Amino acid sequence: MASGIVEGTKLRRVVGLMLLAVAALVGGLGGSLGWLAARSGDLDLTAAEARSTIVLDRSGTLLRPFATPDGRWRLPLAPGAVDPRYLALLMAYEDHRFASHPGIDPAAMARAAGQWLRAGRIVSGGSTLSMQVARLVEPRAERSLAAKLRQMLRAVALERRLGKEGVLRLYLALAPYGGPVEGVRAASLAYFGHEPGRLSLAEAALLVALPQSPEARRPDRFPETAKRARDRVLALAAARGAIRRDEAEAARAEPVPRQRRPFPMLAAHAAESAVAQGPGRPVHRLTLDARLQASLEALVAERIAALGAGLSAAILVIDNATGEVRAHVGSAGYLDAARAGAIDMAGALRSPGSALKPFVYALAFESGLAHPETLIEDRPSRFGASYAPENFDLTFQGTVTARRALQMSLNVPAVELLELVGPARFIARLRAGGAAIALPRDAAPGLPVALGGLGITLTDLARLYAGLARGGLVPDLVRRLDTAPPPPRDLPRIAERVAAWYVADTLRGTPPPENALPNRIAYKTGTSYGYRDAWAAGFDRRITVAVWVGRPDGASVPGLVGRLAAAPILFDAFARYGGEPEPVAPARDALVAATAGLPPPLRHIRRDAPKVVGEAPGAPVRIAYPPDGARVDLGFAEGAPAGLALKALGGTLPLTWMVNSLPLPEVSRRQAEWQPDGAGFVRISVMDATGASDSVVVRLE
């Protein structure tokens, strides 16, 4: 037995002397070591450079990371993005000559060999950070002198190829922290719940200590072992002057985390969509605002929990000026299987209820059939053989203005106006605005579409409402910052400028939900048949917000009403966006008048009047010139534009001519002339004394 102990001591001395010799050799080789490293074989960094795909918001905040194909969480991190105190502790504890050595530290190796000779065991390693990175890049199970020499050569090769910052960047990404967590950024998020840019001293020390033995020191499994390792880092850093002793003492009193935190998952549906559309891209920059997104996700989770089981909700926020999507909440909880949270309800086809009524009114306003102050009857009515719509509360209001009818969401006036403009024309306008409208069993559009007898997505509804806020121009939605913006083009129109403002001004007076202030935003609610969907969409000059609430499976929910379920969420979303709501600017040539000040045909819509061209007995009124879709050269290019001649045939005098929803003064004949103030598209309408009308759109040049 004594013989074995002697032999073991001799062996340790031999190995120790060999290490000392290697250290001396390394110190003397100098530049020759680089020559050897360059010929030791190519370094394959393909696997080491693989990173988790990450999705960022508009300011660079992490929304959601995705694991690498082999299931690891390895997030990119530049040295400048980590707390400087972490780097100071790392260098003090692992490699305080990192900035000066060529990849290996002969003095550290000599010290380690001497400690082994004296103690008979490994007291400290002589590995530099570069050597540790070499081991992480090319992991090997063998622990031999040859393997150590290869690691040293690889460390020098890494430094020659990547430089100090490149080596440090690899260490920050590859250092193991237990399980699938690799790299300082992933570890900081997993154990502390925040980015490593701001770390406490105790947090920084723990991140330095864990890679030495990541599985044995995992704080979520072995918190006491992790604490002892962290405290050793603090003690050594204080002894070497990297931190003050009182700072180390205070940091030792801080507890270590005892569980792993989930990685960020903001805007989970939008992030998934971005990655699916750009596979292979390591970083995706979206137009979302992480602060607003987090606030609205919390709002939805809170409100839906109070509404009941099985319900979900979705919110979309659009910047009206740019079309950028600032928030996209697809469900009440992405991981909530009971609410089918993985389904992005912002893209689901649902019945909008009354949420599309504003676009019926907009079409009637621009066609010269009505004005916000036009009187309309809300009485029991039958359309065709069997269609007799009723109001939500089963009452009727009698004679009301179109403004009041829209604010109260009365059904009979909406159907009345849709009959005037025509359901097919209404659906065509929605589709021309970019909305993917689904009709039941591909049926021809009928009058029930005014009350939600069709399918539309929350995304399309939000775009259409943003069009109202933008004077009728429907924006292209912009979702990414890291791709070129869409090419400029003629944007689709959902309404003419004056008609869009009439609707916006009307909706701003809609009574708000309980405990909300009036006249803040222009908004409309909707409730689908059978209480399956509750909607609210609103806008001011800055943003448009659309909200949907319901069950993803389409089941009925008794009492699910847009005004009670969706509107409060809408108003809270505006409050969380911040700032005072700003009304949409008035249209310059809008007609602001009371009912008595309107042209006679616009004062009252009568049920017994002809509704559309062709229904009046005798010759119907129609515009003979200019024809619909014509391009009329009035000489704008020469700077002396002529007036536009207008001519109508048929109808009952007097006639009312309107251009872009504004009546021409003192013109009641079948022939008139209008002096335009600029080139572009205009809508010209004519209405006769019976209420029959015709309308054309022409381009003036």
**Catalytic center residues:** 94, 354
Question: Which phi and psi angles does 329 have, rounded to 5°?
Answer: -105, 110
CB 250 within 8 A of CB 290: no
The rounded radius of gyration (Å) of the Cα atoms in the chain is 36
CB 445 within 8 A of CB 438: no
Please, which residues have CB within 8 angstroms of residue 396's CB and are 6 or more apart in sequence?
Answer: 378, 379, 380, 412
CA dihedral 446, 450, 452, 457 (to 10 degrees): 100
At 297, which amino acid appears? Answer: E
Element (H, E) at 197: none
CB 234 within 8 A of CB 205: yes
Other beta carbons less than 10 A from residue 23's beta carbon = 22
b/e map 32-53, b = 16+ CB within 10 Å: ebbeebeeeeebeeeebeebbb
List the structure tokens of 59. Answer: 């300011």
List the structure tokens of 600. Answer: 């006679």
List the structure tokens of 537. Answer: 């969409």
Question: Where would I find the H helices in 433-509?
Answer: 458-469, 497-507
Question: Which phi and psi angles does 326 have, rounded to 5°?
Answer: -95, -20
Other beta carbons less than 10 A from residue 570's beta carbon = 25
- Max distance between CA atoms of the chain, in angstroms, equals 128
Element (H, E) at 557: none
Quick check: helix, strand or coil at residue 659? strand
544 DSSP β-pair partners? 318, 539
Distance CA 280, CA 287 (A): 20
CB 586 within 8 A of CB 497: no
